[in-house]
Amino acid sequence: MKHCNDKAEAIGPAAMVDYMRPKRYIFAGWAVAMTAIAGAAWAFPAIAEKAASQRESAVWQARAEAFQGVDLSQVKISGLAETLSDYHLDKTLANSLMRDVAMTEDLLAVEPDVFDTAKFKAQEHRCLAEAVYYEARSETKSGQKAVAEVVLNRVKSKHYPNTICGVVYQGAERRTGCQFSFTCDGSTMKEPIGKHWVRSKDVAALVITGGVQPFTDRSTHYHTVAVNPVWSDYLRPTKQIGYHKFYRFKFKERPAKSASVNVAPPT
């Protein structure tokens, strides 16, 4: 009898271990499952947001490449341009004087609004290109696009003129108080030239035609990293791009109390 009791006592703990082992596996399985669920709940929205951002960036990248990659030589001219081109190829017009007269008569039939619109758009592009050139010609393309975007953000804002040239040259008639320093510090006395000017015009054309995804978070102000103007305390910082720090109005563009808050300082 004693021998049987000893054997039972020896088997008891082993049987208990065998009994508890499945429960430990169940608890461990639940722990792994809960951890996986928590991880998925955190990761899936982040993954989805990143994927959406990548898709959006791809769309804008394709749009920008489409703007930059248009081969104008393959575009069929039409309307007035085609008519004027035909005059140069018309063999019945014996000399240049006849061609000039024929072209002038056709041009006189064009509505004045057409020329006014074309002139206005050319001026707007020129003003934006000048802002990019004088304010950020040594910056990367991202920095130049950001400066151009600030100009367009001001055009959209109720606190500034509603044209690009009006925004860029606001206050230029004064020695101080100009919105962009190059308009009143004598920088424009030196005509823009060279590869920097070519790139500034390209950037202006790309931004003005909507070929760049907005990326300054509606910024309307900026300054170089070398300065710390007083007005920056009244605005909300958005980001730094290159050597410029960018800001926007707080509370949906409510103007700050500072009198100099609208001044974009020298770069």
Distance CA 57, CA 69 (A): 18
Distance CA 25, CA 1 (A): 37
Q: Compute the average pLDDT of residues 55-60.
A: 68
Q: What is the pTM of this model?
A: 0.58
What is the Rg, in whole angstroms, of the alpha carbon atoms belonging to the chain? 34
Predicted pLDDT of residue 78? 47
pLDDT reading at 61 higher than 70: no
Q: Compute the average pLDDT of residues 21-41.
A: 61
CB-CB neighbours of 217 under 10 Å: 14
Predicted pLDDT of residue 30? 65
